[in-house]
Structure 1
Amino acid sequence: MDILVVGAGVVGLAVARALALRGHDVIVAEATGGIGNGVSSRNSEVIHGGMYYPSGSLRARHCVAGRRMLYEFCESHGVPHRKCGKLIVATNALEQAKIEGIYEQGIANGVEGLSFLSGNDAKALEPNLSCTGAVLSRETGIIDSHALMLALQGDLEAAGGMVAFHAPVERIARTRSGWEVQTGGAEPAALPVDAVVNAAGLGAQGLARATEDYPAERVPPLVLAKGNYFGCLGRPAFSRLVYPAPVDGGLGTHVTLDLAGRMRFGPDVEWIEREVYEVDPARAESFYASIRRYWPGLPDGALVPDYAGIRPKLTGPGEPPADFLIDGPTEHGLPGLVQLFGIESPGLTSSLSIADDVARRLSN
């Protein structure tokens, strides 16, 4: 088939690669001038274990399978990564019950390398930590997300596919034999294809509404949850990632490390109405309070504004977190069309597994 994938983020590139490796002719239409300029470039760069998500959900299935695939891909393609592990910590009885539930969920999801630790055992691993108990996830890691996307792009192009930059997709119309995709930009074009995959991230709902005959009632709401990050001055206090018990809309203000050893904190959850990426320095006050619950030794003045990302959520404040939404021909009845909505965390970890899922849906 001739297939157009919309969006050159990590999921779009993974999907395009999977399709090209199966022998299809694939073009990725990207509105900006480079790969990974949206959600994919503004995250924690964490390879997640898969213990947070309900058993049987797409998030659980793709995270666990995708993690295994991702480590293998990194090894075979030389993508920088490190399996550093993480601790999910509790600081009171309520949080203790939460992390016990996370541990049990992880076991049910088939997550390897999980252990439940006492507060003293956790402190023995991370002396700067203060907690009543912790879940140790040995399979959690960190990754250079841009290097990952470059490797995916390399495989795509080696298999005959390509990425078209500055090619915003404005409309998708049905034809007798498939679809016609209208692109804008400096060189507008009409491209006939057999199939389309909408992996447009924050733009997925808008593109779905611009797709002829796709039922409007199938387009889910887009809820924007901004995640702010703060860098931390001084030497890293931890050798592993440290996560508190989850909060409404996210996994809590946690410690992340990059491959250079730099320590940063975030993301928090800030519900917003429009895309804004500036980090308000005043939010540091809430970061100090949250972080000092598990790291009392955080010095005054150590936090500096870093960057922010926006999660493309399908549910809002106080609502249960939504699963990934992959809407294919079997569900909506239109041949050669797959819509991806709400691919937030653990989207990067899940990307290779999601890609195989999309390829199967189009093959069927």
Structure 2
Amino acid sequence: MERVDCVVVGAGVVGLAVARALALSGREVVILESERAVGTGTSSRNSEVVHAGIYYRPGSEKARLCVEGKRLLYEYCALHGVEHRCSGKLIVAADSSQVAELEAIHQNATACGVDDLQWLDKSSVAQIEPALNAHAALLSPSTGIVDSHGLMLALQGDAEDAGAMIAFDARVVRGAVANDGLELEVMTDGQPMLLRAKTVVNSAGLFAADVAAGIEGLLPEHVPPRYFAKGSYFTCTSRVPFSHLVYPVPEPGGLGLHLTLDLAGQARFGPNVEWIEAIDYAVDPRGSEAFYSAVRRYWPGLPENALQPGYAGIRPKIVGRGEPAADFRIDGTSTHGVQGLVNLFGIESPGLTASLAIAARVVALV
């Protein structure tokens, strides 16, 4: 049996940030990634938005870690040459019936510590985005976009420079609580291997609940249910007349079909919300009809035949359809009683923005 100090399960953006932070603190770290590259799941299938922390419940982990994570992420990107842009975002009330909801969003953001939002009336919106249909809008100047792949490569490089090692095609199939840590059975290159680690951080994203459920000695009540909420994106083949990101008021399960621009200027719309039972990244072209209808509420000039299927991502939910949104769960020993184990559950948006802040929280726990 191989013995290591720390194991991080999962090499998405959060797992890499955690591994980097642990390695920089002087810990010996091994990262186990079931795929053959970093960030092939949720971390590379999202809007690549740096969120400000507007929508979350005040005092929640999502609110605190997003606000702090945004600051840390912008600093990190500037220092490490990770491409990003503080482009700003408009949250749009398309008509007067949505103004009260927009006001509630403003109040919620203020309670979360977001102090830079600006209220814009119809004429003010028209001055900065003439093509936008908006009765009113909130401007979030500190919302931005980031090259998520470049960020993950930078985090991986930092972690490895600090001594961390990463094993690809390494899938955790079971675990057990031991006297001096945890034992993990790992399948790598088709062969089983046993590892004993003092510290295990379960950052397996979509499969975090599966990894936790396979650990003998962790009580079942400390493993949440697992749900998948798929979000599809459509790209726009025509030039869009916008310089800001554009968001409608939120919808149940997500933030609505918003318009984001990547760092090359390509526009995309999404994601929608589709509850599914199994991993499926296919984008149904027939979904474009609903996209046209939703987008034209705030951009009436969207041309016909301008949308084409883009890509899809899946949110790792720990509550089901129709239930109130769940907070991040960062479960350490004080929660479940297992020494040396930290489980990260429900790390959906704003997980990318919050990744460095989550990593700092994990290091403090272990």
Contact 2:185 2:192 in 1 (8 A): yes
Deviation at 1:155, TM superposition (A): 0.6
**1:204 matched to which residue of 2?**
208
Aligned ranges 1:36-185 → 2 under 5 Å: 36-185=39-188
Answer yes or no: is 1:360 the counterpart of 2:359.
no
**1:314 matched to which residue of 2?**
318
Question: Which of 285, 290, 305 is the equivalent residue of 1:286?
Answer: 290
Contact 2:11 2:38 in 1 (8 A): yes
Contact 2:77 2:84 in 1 (8 A): yes
Deviation at 1:316, TM superposition (A): 2.1
Answer yes or no: is 1:298 the counterpart of 2:322.
no
Contact 1:50 1:111 in 2 (8 A): yes
Contact 1:30 1:165 in 2 (8 A): yes
Deviation at 1:57, TM superposition (A): 0.1
Contact 1:208 1:219 in 2 (8 A): yes
**2:30 matched to which residue of 1?**
27
SS at match of 1:205: helix
**1:333 matched to which residue of 2?**
337
Answer yes or no: is 1:267 the counterpart of 2:271.
yes
Deviation at 1:272, TM superposition (A): 1.2
**2:197 matched to which residue of 1?**
193
Query: Distance in 2 between the 1:177 and 1:185 partners?
Result: 24
SS at match of 2:216: coil
Query: Distance in 1 between the 2:86 and 2:181 partners?
Result: 44
Query: Distance in 1 between the 2:216 and 2:313 partners?
Result: 31
Q: CA RMSD in A?
A: 0.9
Unaligned runs of 5+ in 2: none
Counterpart residue type for residue 191 of structure 1: L
Counterpart residue type for residue 90 of structure 2: L
SS at match of 1:228: strand
Greater displacement, 174-183 / 277-286: 174-183
Greater displacement, 87-96 / 241-250: 87-96
Query: Distance in 2 between the 1:316 and 1:210 partners?
Result: 22
Query: Distance in 2 between the 1:134 and 1:86 partners?
Result: 10
Deviation at 1:133, TM superposition (A): 0.5
Answer yes or no: is 1:240 the counterpart of 2:244.
yes
Query: Distance in 1 between the 2:98 and 2:323 partners?
Result: 20
Normalised to the residue count of structure 2, the TM-score between the two structures is 0.97
Unaligned runs of 5+ in 1: none
Greater displacement, 124-133 / 180-189: 180-189
Query: Distance in 1 between the 2:205 and 2:300 partners?
Result: 37
Deviation at 1:107, TM superposition (A): 1.2
Greater displacement, 103-112 / 52-61: 103-112
Runs of 4 or more consecutive aligned structure 1 residues displaced over 3 Å after TM superposition:
none
Query: Distance in 2 between the 1:233 and 1:171 partners?
Result: 46
SS at match of 2:215: coil
Contact 1:112 1:139 in 2 (8 A): no
Normalised to the residue count of structure 1, the TM-score between the two structures is 0.98
